[in-house]
Structure 1
């Protein structure tokens, strides 16, 4: 590294990030950039209650919250799927499937018509004559 001295506010922010390791974890996960955290730190100050969630002691609480939210989201997804199937009318599904099947058949019919038009009809080839006069050998 170079021997340049950093700006005093940047030095203070480096110390601040060491006291709040969850900041670096969020940066590594791509949730936020260091520049964004620096700007927030510069505007809010380091004593703002916003920074409490990034201290090391809150890591256990944050992991527990993450596990709970994951469980809730999976339960929520399952309940949504089950509600969808309960609301589904079998007759309507059958009707839509028949419409889809007939539409696919129509598209296949159009394709087969185009394919039969593109294929050239087999015509017997006539021998190529080099001369317009026909000579026969006796």
Structure 2
């Protein structure tokens, strides 16, 4: 399968983000989205005051190294490439089968759980009174 070519501005933004790892933390914390940051970068440029908070004035020792970041980026990109190369219909079938299996397991658990609606309905429908203790002795 042929790889899609990425627009040069997107490549430049990726390079900018790699140079400023605090941007990644901003997205992961949920304070901003990639789309918002890309639009700001595209419209305002790299030298705008908006990016001053994300620039590293000095390197901190508790932040991951560039090698760690590149490994994480490579693993995420390999996962995304794998997902892109999968047959969507086959993936949908797997998800449907998994959903059915989980539904079946849920049904079995609900029947076995004490006090659940399914187990009380089964007791009511059986018509026989269940013994209250562990032994089924009868009085004469």
TM-score (normalizing by structure 2): 0.39
**Structure with a larger share of its residues in helix:** 1
> Which one has a bigger Cα radius of gyration?
1
TM-score (normalizing by structure 1): 0.39
